[in-house]
Chains A and B, each alone.
Chain A
Amino acid sequence: MTLDSLTFGQPATIVAISDTDALLEMALREIGFAERDTVELMHTGPLGRRPLCFRLNETLVALRLDEARAITIELAE
């Protein structure tokens, strides 16, 4: 599954970051997304539950659905 379909209270581990859009991949990695990191959905925006705000390790990062779709995750046990 990808990051955009993560629900509240369900920590997940990043498995892969899509390199289809190399610039996007770079941007996501630079802000800190990396394989094996833990992510958790923390907040959603007021309009149409967008954008999404994730806890990434000890930081908070906001993404839109399109960006979140580029990150493949698996749910933590």
Chain B
Amino acid sequence: MTVLADDRTREEQPAAEAGTRRMVALVGPPNCGKSTLFNGLTGGRSKVANYPGATVEVRAGAMTLPSGREITLYDLPGIYGTASRSKDADVALEVIGGQSATVSRPDLLLVLVEAATLRTHLHTVLQAREFGLPMIVVVNMIDLAERDGLEFDLDALSREIGVPVVACRATRSAGRAALVEEVEARLDDLESARPNLDETIPLKTLQAEARRMAKAAIVSEPLGNMMTRKLDRVLLHPFAGPLILFSLLFLVFQAVFSWATPLMDGIEAGMGLLQTSVATLLPEGWLADLLTDGIIAGVGSVIVFLPQIVILFSFILLLEASGYMARAAFLMDELMMRVGLNGRAFIPLLSSFACAIPGIMAARVIGSERDRITTILIAPLMTCSARLPVYTLLIAAFIPPTSVGPFGLQGLVMFGLYMFAVISGVTVAFVLKRTLTAGGVQPLILELPSYKVPNAGDFFAGLWMRASAFLRRAGTIILATSIGLWFLASYPASAGSLRETFAGQIGALIEPILAPIGFNLEIAIALIPGFAAREVAVGALGTVYAVQGGEENIQGLAAVLQNAWSLPTGLAFIAWYVFAPQCFATLATMRRETNSWAWTGFGFAYLLGLAYIAAGATYWIASALV
């Protein structure tokens, strides 16, 4: 069930106010520009539940009409019709039907349809009449369709459907003006926009009606989007297509690793400067220690990865907005199916490279329950951005910065880790589909939208949403664990060595279990807060070694680790991180989405088991070779 971030505030609203504030919902098929319109109408001010996937969650935002009146706008997941086929569509249908516990039923629907695909998708609009809510039909991206040579008679369409129809260009405020006016006008007389329909018409009949109406509404129609055709000839080519997809993924990971370096160096230098200034300004004592060794070392070592996260999400957002993501799903479908996954799982799994949480939630688009659970179980294996801090640190410490041909060895190792994670995920899926989640195959019915130039406003709004979620984590979980760990690693004050501190005592408990795979006490300590969030382990190592080393924190943490750990230990720690189920939030999301403790427990256990084996094998093999 979708949790709307502001549901509590709504409940607290006095009934009278809730009565005057109208709810308007955006509905329509995927790729018709709902999110763009939503961002345009609300100015990007929205509240989203936890971590947004594409539009998996219901977003709510305030919109101010020209008269100054405020309304609440919902951005619902894309639906092609009234049949429920996925959890994703269920959410939209529940809200529209007024069965949602957290979101009140909208007063007015804005039913979107992309102008260029009006003929094929018009029946969705006609079906929306069945909800019995007042509605305005929004023919979106009218500019693109007209550029392709289409001409429309929207008055004729409005007469046919019996509700208002407006043309819209969601990316420009001038292009939205007519819609805003129409909304304002209809809100005072909602009945005038209520469709006149008192029976459910079979879809087949609706389609025939839709085609007839389209004939009246589309005055002139050319052959379709030639640009998309030309691009697809290359991008979907049986040989060139996969090659381009693979190169693109390779480029993404090289970019994440190398383009971010100057920015990261800058942030690191800033943190170092901050530490030195605090150390000189404050008198020596626990407060200065807490600030420099606890807070700045802990939070700083995580903030430093913001550039990489921004770069990764930039690529994901651009691929999604351009229309390429569906092509990637098309290219990957057969391969995914052979290993027991669904082509649709490609997008959730790709999102999992940023963070498993939106990935697990995006798995809602998969209709088959077994396919969905398989996807959820392997989503944590996809290398999420929280592992980047750990990989980056360890690669910097243990892999020499030499070149292999045109590529840096460090970048290649990073790419190798990503590939290893993918192969592991595929293997696990393969085994699962033949054992625990064996069952039928869900059909693939996937629309490939025409290519579009991504909208800058949407891009930055999306990027901001994700970057701020990351920074919020740095400011909350990571700040708290940094302080907590600093305390545990610094007290009791009588402690002479790390082993005697509270952290050392806790770490010593699990150390015997971890010793066979080459992990030392410091790692055991860092792993404990690492369960709160993976990247915290880096901050924890920063804290642990700064506390232990005193002067050493002036050097980079990588240099410290290089001296403190053997090469096999460093590599084993990397291998551990490929699998370790180290993030409470992911496990909590798994529990919520599978609604099963058994699957969550299974996921946790198998990941932990694989982590132990992988780290152990790496340690033993590396020890034998070195």
- Interface set of A (CB-CB < 8 Å, partner B): 23-24, 26-32, 34-37, 42-51, 53, 55-64, 66-67
Q: Please, how many angstroms separate the alpha-carbon atoms of A26 and B337 in the complex?
A: 23
A44 touches B445 (CB 8 A): no
B80 contact set on A, CB distance < 8 A: 30-32
Chain A interface, DSSP helix/strand/loop, else mixed: mixed
Interchain Cβ contacts under 8 Å between A and B, 8 examples? A26-B83, A29-B81, A46-B241, A57-B117, A58-B116, A61-B448, A62-B330, A62-B445
B224 contact set on A, CB distance < 8 A: 55, 58
Q: Please, how many angstroms separate the alpha-carbon atoms of A51 and B400 in the complex?
A: 43
B85 at interface, CB cutoff 8 A: yes
B153 at interface, CB cutoff 8 A: no
- Measured CB to CB, the closest approach of chain A to B523, in angstroms, equals 42
- Interface set of B (CB-CB < 8 Å, partner A): 80-81, 83, 85, 116-117, 119-121, 123-124, 203-204, 207-208, 210-211, 221, 224-225, 228-229, 232, 236, 238-239, 241-242, 326, 329-331, 333-335, 337-338, 343, 441, 443-450
- Measured CB to CB, the closest approach of chain B to A59, in angstroms, equals 5
- Measured CB to CB, the closest approach of chain A to B145, in angstroms, equals 9
B448 touches A62 (CB 8 A): yes
Q: Which one of A43, A50, A57 lies within 8 Å of B119 (CB-CB)?
A: A57
Residue among B120, B221, B241, B333 with the most chain A CB within 10 A?
B120
With A36-B211, A66-B441 known, 20 other A-B pairs at CB within 8 A are A23-B83, A26-B81, A26-B85, A31-B445, A31-B447, A42-B232, A45-B238, A46-B331, A46-B334, A50-B334, A53-B236, A57-B117, A60-B228, A60-B232, A61-B447, A62-B445, A64-B443, A64-B444, A67-B443, A67-B445
Chain B interface, DSSP helix/strand/loop, else mixed: helix
A63 touches B445 (CB 8 A): yes
B117 touches A58 (CB 8 A): yes
- Measured CB to CB, the closest approach of chain A to B173, in angstroms, equals 28
Q: Please, how many angstroms separate the alpha-carbon atoms of A63 and B236 in the complex?
A: 14
A49 closest partner in B (C-beta): B238
B337 contact set on A, CB distance < 8 A: 64
B444 contact set on A, CB distance < 8 A: 51, 62-64, 67
A27 contact set on B, CB distance < 8 A: 83, 85, 443, 445
Residue among A32, A36, A60 with the most chain B CB within 10 A?
A60
B333 touches A32 (CB 8 A): no
Residue among A34, A46, A50, A53 with the most chain B CB within 10 A?
A46
Q: Which one of A37, A51, A57, A60 lies within 8 Å of B333 (CB-CB)?
A: A51
Q: Which one of A23, A35, A59 lies within 8 Å of B85 (CB-CB)?
A: A23
A51 contact set on B, CB distance < 8 A: 330, 333-334, 343, 444
B121 contact set on A, CB distance < 8 A: 32, 59
B443 contact set on A, CB distance < 8 A: 24, 27, 63-64, 66-67
A48 closest partner in B (C-beta): B334
A36 contact set on B, CB distance < 8 A: 211
Residue among B207, B229, B236, B445 with the most chain A CB within 10 A?
B445
B335 touches A47 (CB 8 A): yes
A34 touches B211 (CB 8 A): yes
Residue among A27, A37, A66 with the most chain B CB within 10 A?
A27
Q: Please, how many angstroms separate the alpha-carbon atoms of A36 and B337 in the complex?
A: 31
Q: Please, how many angstroms separate the alpha-carbon atoms of A71 and B335 in the complex?
A: 24
A36 closest partner in B (C-beta): B211
Q: Please, how many angstroms separate the alpha-carbon atoms of A64 and B326 in the complex?
A: 15
A29 closest partner in B (C-beta): B203
- Measured CB to CB, the closest approach of chain A to B238, in angstroms, equals 5
Q: Please, how many angstroms separate the alpha-carbon atoms of A40 and B337 in the complex?
A: 24
B331 touches A45 (CB 8 A): yes
A46 touches B119 (CB 8 A): no
Q: Please, how many angstroms separate the alpha-carbon atoms of A24 and B228 in the complex?
A: 28
**Residues A59 and B83 in contact in the complex (CB < 8 Å), given A45-B333, A53-B236:** no
A30 touches B120 (CB 8 A): no
A43 contact set on B, CB distance < 8 A: 232, 236, 330
- Measured CB to CB, the closest approach of chain A to B151, in angstroms, equals 14
Residue among B207, B211, B238, B242 with the most chain A CB within 10 A?
B207
